[in-house]
Amino acid sequence: MARFIKTKKEFIGSSPDGMTFHGERKSEHVRISVMDYDKDNLTETEVGSIAETLKYAETNTTTWLNIDGLHDAQIMKEISEGFNLSPLIISDILETNSRPKIHEYNDCIYISVKMLQYNEKKHHSTSENLVMIIKKNILISFQERVGDVFNPVRERLRSNRKRFRTAGTDYLAYALLDTIIDNYIYIISLLGEKIENLDKILIDKANDGMLQEISEYKGEIIYMSKIIKPCRELITSLEHIDSDLVHESMQVHLKGLRSNVELANETVEDYREILSDLLSVFHTVMSDKLNDILKTLTIFSVIFIPITFIVGVYGTNFDFMPVLHWRYGYLAMWIMMIVIAISMVIHFKRKKWL
């Protein structure tokens, strides 16, 4: 399957409000977890059905409802009905291969982004589509599988930070987006470290494997760019959104977020250019290296050519070659050959070919 874009023939032209999951099923069970909090209290539970969560929507407390796994059509239907989300929204949530986007509805804001997660053990990052539905007192997030990058946010909620606990769902959404973008930057910086290391050693220690490395990093960087660019548009839209759901006080946070995502984007562009240069330098270095070998070997051959010719001359069978009968003829031939060889070496050294 192509990594950059995925689609299946059977869903072409399907209804925009179909509630069937198109994507790859990434988890076994659907996990539903709730964090409900206000200034003083924090409830953290894992529930078995959507019905148990509906009560949270009616209280004045802020609720974060997190759904891990999208393949259960029944749960999706309950969410749609329970939280008054149109089938169109549900259909969008299920389309995990879509482009990151934001859409304002009457009573909610829809945000979808790609969440990147770096696996410290396996040394590679995985991507997952994340959807947030921001409503007045509740934020519903949809993930493709269990496991995310939001533990720092959970910790901050648990540690009774006044400001966080009293801020609404908009601040929660910001905190989640901020964590996602921090993870982008973290992954870029890990990749950047590898690229800059490669840059440092490339000229002196180029070897065939590096072509593979350069090529892989380029693929990673293009992929990062594909994720980050729409994210930048998204945050700009969020800044300019005119909705009661986003308070005026969020502006300064959103501005910081945009600054971060622009940093990420510019850095990705810089690495893209650096990798193009690396490919070009690699090509130059590899051909120089090989040419050095060929040069040395060719010079080696050239020294032997005239002296091999000389022994050929003395191997001819002419009757009248007085030197052959001279006592020191053989010795003289050797001297001549050594003189020729040495003067050629000196000549090449002078021309800096050796």
Q: Which of residues 126-165 bind a copy of itself (CB under 8 A)?
A: 149-153, 156, 161, 163-164
User: Which CB sits closer to a copy of itself, 244 or 300?
Assistant: 300
Member of 82, 147, 168, 329 binding a copy of itself (CB under 8 A) = 329
Query: Which helix (H) or strand (E) segment is 27 a member of?
Result: none
Cα–Cα distance for residue pair 110/244, rounded to 1 Å: 14
Helix axis angle for 251-313 and 169-205, nearest 10°, is 10
Member of 43, 74, 166, 259 binding a copy of itself (CB under 8 A) = 259
Q: Tell which residue, 275, 173, 184, 171, has the closest CA to residue 229.
A: 184
Cα–Cα distance for residue pair 107/84, rounded to 1 Å: 9
Q: Which region among 38-46, 49-57, 132-140, 292-300 touches a copy of itself (by CB under 8 A)?
A: 292-300
Q: Which region among 34-42, 68-76, 138-146, 187-195 touches a copy of itself (by CB under 8 A)?
A: 187-195
Binding mask 213-252 for a copy of itself (x = CB under 8 A): --x--xx--x--xx--xx---------------------x
Query: Which helix (H) or strand (E) segment is 190 a member of?
Result: helix 169-205
End-to-end CA distance of the chain: 52
Smallest distance from a copy of itself to CB 145, Å: 19
Member of 41, 49, 256, 336 binding a copy of itself (CB under 8 A) = 256
User: Which CB sits closer to a copy of itself, 50 or 228?
Assistant: 228
Identify residues 72-101 at the interface with a copy of itself (CB under 8 A). 88, 92, 98-99, 101
Identify residues 9-38 at the interface with a copy of itself (CB under 8 A). 9, 11-17
Smallest distance from a copy of itself to CB 20, Å: 14
Member of 54, 75, 211, 241 binding a copy of itself (CB under 8 A) = 211
* 320 interacts with a copy of itself by CB under 8 A: yes
User: Which CB sits closer to a copy of itself, 138 or 202?
Assistant: 202
Amino acid at 103: H
Tell me the chain's radius of gyration from C-alpha atoms: 35
Which tokens in the block code for residue 169? Answer: 């769902």
Q: Tell which residue, 27, 25, 47, 26, has the closest CA to residue 35.
A: 47
* 117 interacts with a copy of itself by CB under 8 A: no
Partnered with residue 245 across adjacent β-strands are none
Paired sense of beta strands 62-68 and 138-143, if any: parallel
Q: Tell which residue, 263, 287, 283, 116, has the closest CA to residue 214.
A: 283
Cα–Cα distance for residue pair 335/339, rounded to 1 Å: 6
* 106 interacts with a copy of itself by CB under 8 A: no
User: Which CB sits closer to a copy of itself, 293 or 350?
Assistant: 293
Using CB under 8 A as the binding criterion, the count of chain residues that bind a copy of itself stands at 124
